[in-house]
Each structure stands twice: as structure tokens, then as C-alpha cells.
Amino acid sequence: MTTIHNLGFPRIGRKRELKFGLEAYWRGETSRAQLLELAQQLRAQNWQLQQGLDWVPVGDFSLYDQVLDMSFTLGNLPARVRGYEGDALDNYFRVARGRSAPSAQSCGCNAGVAAGEMTKWFDTNYHYIVPEFDADTNFSLDASRLIAQLQEAKAQGIKAKPVIIGPVTYLGLGKAKDGSDRLQLLPRLLPVYQQLLQTLADHGAEWVQIDEPLLVTDLDAQWQHAFNLAYHALKTAPVKLLVATYFGTLEDNAYLAANLPVAGLHIDALGGREAVLKVLNLLPPHKVLSLGVISGRNIWKTDLNALLDWLEPLAERLGAQLWLAPSCSLLHVPVDLDSEERMDAEIKSWLAFALQKLGELQILATALRQGRAAVQQALDANRAALQARRQSARVHNPAVAEAVAAIRPEMGQRRSVFAERAVKQAEHMPLPLFPTTTIGSFPQTAEIRQARRDYKSGALDEAGYQAAMRAEIARCVGEQEALGLDVLVHGEAERNDMVEYFGEQLEGYAFSQFGWVQSYGSRCVKPPILFGDIRRPKAMTVEWIRYAQSLTDKPMKGMLTGPVTILNWSFVRDDQPRAQSCRQLALAIREEVLDLEKAGVRVIQIDEAALREGLPLRRSQWQEYLDWAVECFRITANGVADATQIHTHMCYSEFNDIIASIAAMDADVITIETSRSDMELLDAFEHFEYPNAIGPGVYDIHSPNIPTQEHIVALMRKAAERIPAERLWVNPDCGLKTRQWSEVIPALRNMVEAAKTLRAQAGK
């Protein structure tokens, strides 16, 4: 009998209940008990929704981040959060966001500290809190979170499979702050994992899922040896271990993974059937092989009939040793398609969210256990939906295909090199040394959100909405002028999301009402659905930017999202190469860039926040991706005159190893996250001479903490050691949408004053 299970489930709730609960708690509007009760309710709901699986994941629920959870389970707390008043949850939120919730007893529990560094979870848009190590790091077990959730699940009658991050991946995800070798910590770490597995067994666990996605990346001999060392140390655990890999294929790690001394191995089967066959031939016959056959990262229906054609012989061969699951945790997709009452019915018929994916899994299991006849109606409906999508005239636009075919290399070339452009831009737009700006968005207030809701519901007409947004833009421009910023933005009051806003105005996109996905902590995004060829029917931003510029004599940036980021932050069609979709987006955004320039806008920012997260996990595949990603940005940006200044922005990723490709984008100014990593990005410039201007982010906008003037000056001095001051900008590390005006004003005031101090010290 084929077993079906799940690797993880979305934890935010159908309608983002966790987000709102967390934010209310952080504001001091609800109690600790209310937050924990909400979390327990969401866990119970999630387990109930997964009834019908043979094994249900437990421990995948998190109040902020599963990697941070693992750090606390292992007793790995940064030294800076120790010694504060409060308990483990206070410290948890300090590491996550810089501070806990306000305390009624004024015990100092809300004292601010530097939040943990945040970066992307492999090649996804989920952000995790980076574990911190040094040569003296020790570990100690705190299994209370897992024990409590396991007991809750058992009380609900759930056949629970605890989920933890494996020891080697945990070390691989972290950073040694003193430059020491993380693998030297493995002998200290493994006894804690042994205690954890024993504890889970003592509380009734039969199987434990140990996530080791590091196995789908390039590993040198030391890291490969670490896997052998780790699992030989854990093989005596009194539970069955299922090592779970995902986001790619094992390739040269296949023999290693197949022969680890564990009871089962989960692999992502979406990367090709040859890769699965390779693992199958290496796997000892007594082990379980779990195949991730349904995408945990995209929202298209699975071709169940074709999949069964492949699975039936495997099921015959493996029998009870075959398990089926989604390819990875369903954290990366929305909860329930049935919540979508307003979505286009045709497009909705092509989709599957988390619950529907589990339904597909159950159809597969029934077909394999009882024969296809038992689910023939479901299989027929699946076939009809897929056929309708393939034949839909809404998917393919011949004019778009012709435009992509007509792309020529010169479309991606600026007329002059940066040094010559910089002179013309300075003549057109004189700026002081260390010019100040922001990344684009300003606080999305309750009034802005209410106006948007009223407009969508019809309670506010077009004229009323325009007036409300113009008032917010005027406020934003006025605040920036009062602060003394040098290059202004309009604040993006009219934009719901930096990708969704553009998708709504492009042909080829569809949208959900409740298709929320967690990005980090309480931050959720609603990725648009790229289902067809992309075309821009009309200008999308010009009138808003033109209005904002009319309010000030200072330069006003036109704000756009770049094609690679729109692609990577969408649910992308799976019926053509990603590069082809990206080129379509590049042509559409290029038209917008040129229209902004025609409207007199001389500073245009094209955000590519997601450039790196699209990078394949294997270095051998990097160059192909970077070639077309950089090409698409250049097509978008480089049709303008030399005097027009092009900015781009990137955030929260490891950029040092692709700095040459970033330079090849040839943006006049790049703004980039460096505050949480303490300017670590700038290490790249010790061996690489970045040719253009750069604004290393000096203000961590994902924390409520307000940076001091002295801290900003110190960070910029570090930057000036590697980048000439004449090419440095001063800016936050990301947009200010999620912050409050009461935080933004003092933070930006300190930033502007820091720039003045830097100019005075430079004698200019």
C-alpha cells in the first residue's frame, strides 16, 4: 500500500489570521495568552485539513520562522539577547525583529537589540533568520515547542510525523561571526540531536522527518563527510528517520543520500524521472523512497493521468516502500482555492492550492491502491482542465511572440559608459556628496488601506480614490522635503504590492483574493498568476509620478519593479521556459521606462529585489540563468538617454558571489541590503572593483528599531573604505511600506543628519 504524507503546511491561516495576531501582539493590543491560543487553533485547523494523509507533519508551524525555531530548540541564542528580562518568547522575537512586545510591567522586555540577519531560503521568496555561530558556540536542548505540538496532535487523533531541520543543513544555513569553521561544531551539535530524537520517541513519535535540503546543492568532500558522520551518530535513535531533500535533484550527492543509515529518503521528483531512477537504483531495498510528485511551489494542476502512467510500475516494484508527497513543504503556496469566489472561473479550473494539492495526492493514492476506476471521474476532470488550458486562446498572443523574436542586442546597451553618463547626470541633476534617498515605498497607513478597500467595493468612486491617493502622495513628498532628502519618491500609496500592482495592469496575469503566501514573520505576499503572454496595454505609473514631481523642485524617482523580480515573485506558467516569460516582461516594462522618460522623469528605479533568489542551487547552472536575467534587466533599462539615471534595488540575499553579474546590469546606482549583515556585502569589493554608484542600506526597515546617527556614520565609513565616496549613496535597505510614520521620521532624520556629518568630515 502506497503511503501518502506531507512535508509541511501553510501556517498563516486561510485569511492571514497569524499575521494579524502577531502584529496585534507586537503592538501590545492583545496578550501573550491570546497569541498562543490563536497559534494552537491554527495548528488544530491545519491538522484537520490534512486528515486523509497517512502521516501529518507536526512542528512545521512557527510563530515567525522554522530556522529560528530550530535555533531555539538547539539552545543557540546570540549572546546579545541574553541577560534581558523576559522569557524565551521575548528573546525569540528579539532575534526575529529586534524587540519583543510591549510589557505591561515595564520590565524592559521590549528593549531593542540588533535583529538576526535575514536571507532567502534556498531559491524561494521565503526569508529565514540566519543562525549565528562562533568557535565557542555550544548547544543545549529545549524540546518544549515540539513536545507541546506533538501532544496537541495526539490529542486530536493525528498520526503525527515531527519535522525538524537536519544538523548539517542547520550548520550550512548559518554564519560563523568570527570566521571559524562551522563544521567544527558538528561534534557538539550531534549529542543534542540525539537527545531530541530520544525525546520525540519518548513522546510517541514513530517517524521523524529531518529536512536536509543542503543535499541538493554543491557539496565539497568535507560537507559530504559531515552527512555521513551525522547520520551514523544518529542511526541508533529509537525512531525511524526520513531524510527529506527538496528544491532540486541530488545529482552527485545521490549515492551519499541513498546510503545514509536512515529508514527513508524523500526526493523532489519534479526535476526529472532519470534522476529518480538513479536514486532508486542506489537505494537499499529495505528503505522507504518518498517521491515529491506534486509541486509544492507552484499552483498549476498536476497531470494526474500522465503521473499515474509513471507511478504504477514504480508502485508495483516498491510496494509499501513507496511514499508519495508534495515536492516540498506547502508553505510556498496559498491555503485553499475554494476561498476564491471572485477569480475568473476558467483560470481557476487550471489551479490547485495547498488543500487541492493534498486532494490530488489522495486521488493518486486511491488509484494506486484500488485502480484508476475508483477515481475515474476525478481523472477525467483533471484531463479536461489541462486540455482546456493548452487550447485556450487567452494563453498565447502571436504579437507578443513576434516582439520577443525581434529583440536585438543593441536594445540592452546604454549609449555611453557609466563615467560619461555620470557627468551628464550631474550636470542635469547636481547632488551633494553622499546623496540621500529612500527605496520607494512609505508607510501604508490604515487610511490608505481603507481607501483601497472602499474603492474596490464601490463605496468610493474613481475621483474620490484619486483624490485620496494624491493627498497621501502630497503628504509623503512634504515629509521628505522637510527631512531634507535629496532624491524623493512618491511613496507608492496607490500600490497594493510591488508585483501585484504591475500584474494587474498587464495582460497575461490573473489574481487571487486570498492567495497569500508567507514571505517572513507576519509579512505575506499575494503572488499574481502569470498564465499567458504578457502585454502592456497602457502606461501604468506615469500620471502618479508626474503628479508627485509637480509638487517639488527636487528630483523625483519613477518607481518600477523589474522583469526578473516580477517573474520570480509570481506563480509562473509552466508551459514555456522562464526566460521566455521574462523577456516578455522586459519588453512591457521597457515601454513604461521610456514613457516615464518622455514625461520628464530623469531618475527611474527598476527594482530587482529577487534577482538572486532565482539563481539555481547548482553553480553549474548559474551562468545560464544570470545571462538571461541580466539581459532582461538591460532590455528594460537601457533604452534611455545618458542623462536619465537608472537605479535598481536588491534586498536580503547573498550577493557577493554574483557581484560581477550585478555590475553587468550597468545600473547607474544600485541600492542593496547591508545593515543586518553589518556591511558584509562590501567584502566583495576587496577583490572586485564595482564600477558604478552604490547605496549600501544603512537602516534595517524590517525591525522597529530606529538607527542612530552614529551607527549610520560608522556603516558608511566602512563602505567608504571600499567604494570611493563620490560613488556612495545613503539610503535604507528596503522600502518603508511596513513601518509606521512614527518610526520612519526619526530614522530618516538620523540618516539625513548622518549624511551631513559624512560630508563635513569629507570637507565638502
User: Which positions make up the binding site for Zn(2+)?
Assistant: 649, 651, 673, 734
Name the packing angle between helices 32-49 and 17-26 (round to 10°): 170
Nearest-CA neighbor of 122 among 757, 525, 653? Answer: 653
The residue with cell 527611474 is: 604
3-state secondary structure of 267: strand
Nearest-angstrom CA–CA distance, 159 and 150: 10
Q: Work out the burial of residue 203: count CB atoms within 10 Å of its CB; fewer than 13 is exposed, 13-18 middle, 19 or more buried.
A: middle
- What is the DSSP-derived secondary structure letter of residue 18? H
Checking phi first, is residue 763 left (phi over 0); if not, alpha (psi -120 to 50) or beta?
A: left
User: What nine digits make up the cell of 148?
Assistant: 507541546
Nearest-angstrom CA–CA distance, 296 and 299: 8
Q: CB neighbours of 384 closer than 8 A, spacing ≥ 6?
A: none
Nearest-angstrom CA–CA distance, 678 and 658: 19
What SS3 string covers 430-441? CCCCCCECCCCE
The residue with cell 549613496 is: 729
- Compute how many other C-beta atoms are within 10 angstroms of the C-beta atom of residue 187: 11
Nearest-angstrom CA–CA distance, 246 and 243: 10
Distances 156 to 24, 47, 51, 160 between C-alpha atoms, Å: 28, 8, 11, 10
Residue 366, CA atoms < 13 Å, CB-side half-sphere: 17
Nearest-angstrom CA–CA distance, 386 and 604: 41
Are 150 and 162 within 8 A, CB to CB? yes
Triad 70, 71, 72: Cα angle to 5°: 90
> What is the separation of C-alpha 476 from the centre of its chain, rounded to a whole number of angstroms?
28
- Partners of 693 in beta bridges: 669
Nearest-angstrom CA–CA distance, 145 and 495: 38
* Binding-site positions for L-homocysteine: 439-441, 492, 607
User: What nine digits make up the cell of 650?
Assistant: 536588491
Triad 382, 384, 389: Cα angle to 5°: 100
Nearest-CA neighbor of 629 among 465, 484, 412? Answer: 412
* Binding-site positions for 5-methyltetrahydropteroyltri-L-glutamate: 16-19, 120, 125, 523-524, 569, 613
Please give the single-letter amino acid code of residue 23.
E
- Partners of 517 in beta bridges: 525
- DSSP secondary structure of 322-352: EEEEESS-GGGS-S-GGG-SSS-HHHHTTB-
Catalytic residue among 286, 490, 702, 711: 702
Please give the single-letter amino acid code of residue 598.
K
* Binding-site positions for L-methionine: 439-441, 492, 607
* Binding-site positions: 16-19, 120, 125, 439-441, 492, 523-524, 569, 607, 613, 649, 651, 673, 734
Q: Is 702 a catalytic residue?
A: yes
Q: CB neighbours of 244 closer than 8 A, spacing ≥ 6?
A: 7, 209, 210, 211, 212, 213, 266, 290
Residue 18 φ/ψ, nearest 5 degrees: -65, -40
Nearest-angstrom CA–CA distance, 211 and 216: 11
What SS3 string covers 475-531? HHHHHHHHHCCCCECCECCCCCCCCHHHHCCCEEEECCCCCCEEEECCEEECCCEEE
Q: b/e per residue, 643-682, with b = 16+ CB within 10 A? A: ebbbbbbbbbbbbeebbebbbebbbbbbbbbbbbbebbbb
Strands annotated E in 537-610? 557-561, 603-607
Please give the single-letter amino acid code of residue 180.
S
Nearest-angstrom CA–CA distance, 7 and 60: 8
3-state secondary structure of 368: helix
List, by residue number, the catalytic residues: 702
